[in-house]
Each structure stands twice: as structure tokens, then as C-alpha cells.
Structure 1
Amino acid sequence: MKMDTTKMKKELENRLKGPNRSISYNREKDELKIVNVRTGKGITIALPGIVAKWHQDKEKAIDEVVYYVEEGLKVMGSENTLLGNDKKIFPIIRSTSFPLESGEGKTFLTEEHTAETRIYYALDLGQSYRLIDEQMVTKENISPKHIKETALFNVRSLSTEVKRDTVAGNVFYFVSTNDGYDASRILNESFLKQMENEISGNMVLAVPHQDVLIIADIQNNTGYDVLAQMAMAFFANGKVPITALSFAYENGELEPMFILGKNRKE
């Protein structure tokens, strides 16, 4: 079967049609827009990108788009409150290129992290989450400090179970639970300190995308090369990419570092 934007448009229209929804097509931009008619809010899909992904992942590419549109429309169609939901507030790591405002112009609540990353805050909704904006905080008369402290407290309650792999004498630890907050574990200072005590070489971390935190015990130059290639591969394939750069960890501080990913002789 050969897939093109016309066929993809028809397939997505069939799978995303439903009550209280309108679907429109922008021929000039080759985009499909699905709108919740009750709220007037919608999600726009660029068809060429989905077609390209289909040629690589087939039906899985369509399934992923449908899933994220469905979940996104659920969030847009519901009233979410912060009051009484402290246990559902978590920090989210994003690239510094990630928008500071929502599509409606509402400023997200954020905190500086590193030169490559920024902290956002989210209200967990089960299968998805909503980024917390300053208007939400003001409307419910909650201090931004409370949101940030609560989020950091909650991230420490998440599992820190790791998978381990060894390559050329270097040890790599992976946190990948797919709960949406794997990269957020980089904010769990007690966990990082615990890992630091177990590491005998140089401790280097990477958060290439939302669903993985890599902690490396680097013993030689080959370890840096392996981590660089690994981080780039994860970054390229992640649903929510963050950064392909790694971070040196020393004295509780994270320092972005550029590693030239090639095989170097010791």
C-alpha cells in the first residue's frame, strides 16, 4: 500500500470524527484541524509529517496521532483544578526552545534549569497532563512557590528503578517507566546523590527525551562516545525530544557538555 496525504487525510477523518467535533482541511498548508465545538479549541496536524512517519512505522504512526489527538481534546474539553490536587502536580523537563506560552497566549509557569533545559509544571490527568499556566495559579489563588515545591516533593516519590548496561568498561543506567516523568527524575537530588555514591568514574547524565533519564559512569573516552551516540539516537526517536547534549554532574551541579560522537583512541 502506498500512502499519501490524501489517503492519510481520509484515514484520520474516519478515525477522529465524532460528536461535538468538527474537522477541517487547509489545502494550502496540507493540515487537518480537529476542533472541540463546545470549547472552540482544537489540534492541528501536519499531514506530510505523519505520512513520512507512516512509511517508517506503518499503522503505529496513525495510532499515535489518534491517541494524542484524543487525549488532547479530552484535556481541552475539561475543567481542571489545582485545588485539592497537590498529589497530581509534577515538574516537566523541556528544551529551552519549547514555547513559554500556550496557543491561547497564556504564560506557562516555569523555572530556569540549565542552559539547555527548562522546568515546566503539570497537572496529571491520568493518561495525559496539562501544563500549568500563571493564569491558573492566579485564578485559584495558589502561590507559584507552592506549585514548585509540591512538584519537587512529588517527583521524589516516583520510582527510581534503573536498568543497567555495560559497554567497554562504562556503566549506563536507564530510568524508563513511561509514566511521562522519566526525564523529571533529574530533579530528584537525593536520587542523583545516591547514584553519585555508586559511581567510580565521571558521572554524566542525559535527558534526550521525556521518557528516559540516562546516568553514565564514564571510565574512558569510549564511554563519552557511546553516550553521545546513544543520546542522539534517543533524541531523534523520542515522542517529546528535549536535548541531545549531556550534562556533567559534580557537586550537585549540572553542566551541559558537548561530546563529539566519534570513536577516539585512548
Structure 2
Amino acid sequence: MKPMEIKRELESQLQHENWITSYDRDKNTLRIVDDRVDKGITIRLDNLSSKFEENKHAALENTVATIKEGMRLLVEKADLNGKEASIYPVLRNPDFGEGKNLLHEEHTAETTIFYAVDEDSSYSLIDSDMLNQSGKTAEEIKEAAKFNVRKLPAEFKEDEVAGNKFYFLHAGDGFEASRILNDTLLDDMKEKIHGDMAVAVPHHDVLIIADLRNETGYDVLGQMTFQFFSEGHMPLTALPFLYEKGELEPIFVLARKKPKDTKKDG
């Protein structure tokens, strides 16, 4: 379906006295804002086209449900007390938090760590108001998130291309990319790697780990990461990283080979 058709379908299902919708024709995005809090959600319509083509009814139902839940959470503040076991780190682009008082921490030039409370069907990003109301410190939240992400299951699907091995994690819990913050997981995977270990988080619903044993592996990883990035509901970065001694080093995929003197950005 064309973005404009998807826009009309969504707008017909998103009628609310406090919601204002706007369409950016250049970016093909639909934004819904709740005028009570002057906050909203932006949907990239291009990323929904294939889902609507495959099953319009299911795609519309799932998308509308996700948007409504997200809009609800913009108005209703989550209580952190008693939910320490449901706090997780999430990755977003660095500019995601601009103008918002969200609890965050630097990660790489491409990604920033934010913190969220998992509420089953969605999650609420933790801001300064929620933090103050809870009486907790930022460090307590970060430590809880670090502890909880280590407990998430890590089952990978494996594929091999031209002698290079690729491991894919898609658990369906919304925290796939967050697992890149689990140092124990990365170090355990490092033990299995015979070539260069690379990690990619092209969007927030996938983690890719690669065992690169030749130049073809770098090419495949670059193409693969870009494809996932372009198709993701919430894209993060099309740039993969080498993982060495606990550090993430960006791989400039256009060079189509292992970087020689790139600056580390972990």
C-alpha cells in the first residue's frame, strides 16, 4: 500500500478529542500529538507498507493497538517503585532525547542508552519526573537495568555465507538491541568466534553477531545491516561494530574491508 493510503487507514482508527495528527509528505511520516501534554508519536509509513500488503487487517490492528498504547503512556506516568525487575536499557539515536528530560547515557556516536519500564505490551521511557517521584537515583536505575538485561534469554539463529558465520537474535520482547549492552553475552560469543567478531544493531528488534573470516564477510555484513536498518520499525544504525577487548569499533562499510586506523567509539 502507498503511504497516503496507510495514513488514511490509521487516521480513521485514531479518533480522539485530544489527539492531533499531521502528515509530513517529504518524509512520509504521520505524527500523532496529545495536546494535553504536547507530546506525541511519529510513525514512518514506508516501514509499514510491506506489512499492509501482506495482511492489511492484521497490520492495521497491530499498528493501531501499538499507537494507542504509546499515546496512553505519554499521559500516564509509570510508577518505578516495585517495578525494579522490569527496568531495562534501550537504544535510540542520540538526537532522540533532544528537548526531553529522559534518563540517558552515552554509548557510541550512533547510539545512546535510554532507560525504560517494561509494561508488557509496551514500555515507558524514564524521565526526570518519574525518577524524582520514585525517590531513586539515576545510578540505581542504571544498575537495575544492567542487571535485568543480563537475565534476558539469548537464543540465536545461525547462518553461514562464504565461510562466515552470522548469528541473529530476535526474541520478540522489544529488547533485542539492548543485549549489545550485556558484556557477559558478548564475551561468551567471543569465545565461539574464530575470525573477527562484529556486532550490529540496525534496528531495536534485532541483534546481529558475526564471525568474519574473510573480506566477503565484511561485504555481506554491510549489506545485511543496511537492509535491516532500512526495513526496521525503529532504525538505529546501519554501521556495524567490531568487538575487541570490550570495545566497539565502527566498521565503515563503504570501505568494504576491515578498518585499519579508525578511532574507537565505545
Using the size of structure 1 for normalisation, the TM-score is 0.82
1:69 Cα deviation after fit: 1.6
Deviations 1:117-161 (A, max 9, x none): 111100111111111112221232211000000000000000011
Kept in 1, the 8 Å contact 2:21–2:32? The answer is no
Q: Which residue of 2 aligns with 1:237?
A: 231
The one-letter code sitting in structure 1 at the alignment partner of 2:14 is L
Q: Which residue of 1 aligns with 2:264?
A: none
Listed as ranges, the matches of 1:50-199 within 5 Å are 50=45, 53-54=48-49, 57-58=52-53, 59=56, 62-102=60-100, 107-199=101-193
Deviates more, 1:206-215 or 1:92-101: 92-101
Unaligned runs of 5+ in 1: none
Q: Structure 1 residues 146 and 51, CA, compared in 2 at 3 Å: closer, same or farther? A: closer
Matched, 1:221 2:219: no
Deviates more, 1:65-74 or 1:168-177: 65-74
The one-letter code sitting in structure 1 at the alignment partner of 2:68 is E
The SS at the match of 1:111 is strand
Q: Structure 1 residues 22 and 248, CA, compared in 2 at 3 Å: closer, same or farther? A: same
Kept in 2, the 8 Å contact 1:41–1:76? The answer is no
Q: Percent identity?
A: 42
Deviations 1:65-106 (A, max 9, x none): 41332111221343311111100100001222323343xxxx
Paired with 2:121 and 2:112, the residues of 1 have a C-alpha distance of: 23
Matched, 1:208 2:206: no
1:26 Cα deviation after fit: 5.5
Deviates more, 1:221-230 or 1:67-76: 67-76
1:115 Cα deviation after fit: 1.9
Deviates more, 1:226-235 or 1:67-76: 67-76
Paired with 1:23 and 1:113, the residues of 2 have a C-alpha distance of: 34
Paired with 1:256 and 1:52, the residues of 2 have a C-alpha distance of: 26
What is the total number of aligned residue pairs between the two structures? 252
Listed as ranges, the matches of 1:20-35 within 5 Å are 21-24=17-20
The one-letter code sitting in structure 2 at the alignment partner of 1:82 is L
Structure 1 vs Structure 2 CA RMSD = 3.0
Q: Which residue of 1 aligns with 2:13?
A: 15
The SS at the match of 1:173 is strand
Which has more radius of gyration? Answer: 1
Q: Structure 1 residues 73 and 220, CA, compared in 2 at 3 Å: closer, same or farther? A: same
Paired with 1:108 and 1:131, the residues of 2 have a C-alpha distance of: 7
Q: Structure 1 residues 149 and 62, CA, compared in 2 at 3 Å: closer, same or farther? A: same
Paired with 2:93 and 2:24, the residues of 1 have a C-alpha distance of: 30
Deviations 1:144-191 (A, max 9, x none): 000000000000000011110000000001111121100010111111
Using the size of structure 2 for normalisation, the TM-score is 0.82
1:116 Cα deviation after fit: 1.6
Kept in 2, the 8 Å contact 1:205–1:216? The answer is yes
